[in-house]
Amino acid sequence: MRARRFFATLSFALGILLPVRGATEAPTALVARIDGEAVRCLAPVSEHDCARTVLQSLQGRAQRAYIVRHGLQATDAEIQALRSYNRAFEAHDRNQRARKLRELEARLSDVALSAEDRTRLQNFRAILVRLARYEADVDAGLEQIEPVPEEALKHWVERSKLDQALYRQYGGIVGVAASGLYPHGARAALVIDYLADCDCDFIDHRLEPRVRAALADSPRMVFRGAMPDFTPFWKRAIEPSYMRD
């Protein structure tokens, strides 16, 4: 359920953490100014954690500026294409689970099945039955599935267009993540260029060398192929089957 897992993760990442009334705010320290805007970290400052916070701020600003400068904003048509893929994937996923449930019922009727295999298949069947019941409740109007937020769709479209554009410009090492390939070296090169041109003041002078060292790090997994393919998942064919029992 690749698309569902991604959207759940992305929705969480884009969520807004609202302050609790009456809660005491944790002390922070001003550690940098980027184009006049303050970047703060929890005090006392952890160099490692704070450098990551500053780097994330730099990455976000550099990428947003690049998207705007090169006209890579998500269009309505692109967002609709992603929504259409998601609907098609959910329908495919549902049909596949129904087929798998029928297969499990047939296999569990085999009296020669070992006790270990029977337990494993029964556990798998129980999961599929719960999902089928939930979807039946959705169809009956008893449950609701929240749509993927527009901001999440926009973010994913723009990230895909950005990564392709960055790799064309900078090249560099390519990393492998659960969501696919990403231009690790090109993303770092963009931030390095941004640092050279922006009005960046590291008030905590310990952080700049840590940030630059992080930009030089290699990805956890490196793509070793000849030609990386950054085609987004919603422009690829839906796999016929991904379930294994």
pLDDT, tens digit, for every residue of 164-223? Answer: 999 999 999 999 998 899 999 999 999 999 999 999 999 999 999 999 999 999 999 999
Q: What is the mean pLDDT of residues 22-32?
A: 79
CA distance 218 to 216: 7
- Reported confidence tier of residue 224, pLDDT bands at 50, 70, 90: very high
- Reported confidence tier of residue 49, pLDDT bands at 50, 70, 90: very high
Angle (deg, nearest 10), helices 184-197 and 207-215: 140
State residue 14's pLDDT score: 43
Q: What is the mean pLDDT of residues 113-125?
A: 95
> What residues have CB less than 8 Å from 210, skipping those under 6 apart?
47, 48, 51
Q: What is the mean pLDDT of residues 102-111?
A: 93
b (16+ CB within 10 A) / e for 51-78:
bbbbbebbbebbbeebbeeeebebeeeb
Which of 183, 195, 169, 185 is CA-nearest to residue 229?
Answer: 183
The encoded tokens of residue 125 equal: 């069947």
Q: What is the mean pLDDT of residues 82-98?
A: 93
- Mean predicted lDDT score pLDDT of the chain: 88
**141 pLDDT higher than 50:** yes
**23 pLDDT higher than 90:** no
User: Which residue has better confidence, 20 or 83?
Assistant: 83
- Reported confidence tier of residue 7, pLDDT bands at 50, 70, 90: very low
CA distance 116 to 53: 48
CA distance 83 to 63: 24
**125 pLDDT higher than 50:** yes
What is the pTM assigned to this prediction? 0.79
State residue 245's pLDDT score: 58
- Reported confidence tier of residue 12, pLDDT bands at 50, 70, 90: very low
State residue 45's pLDDT score: 85
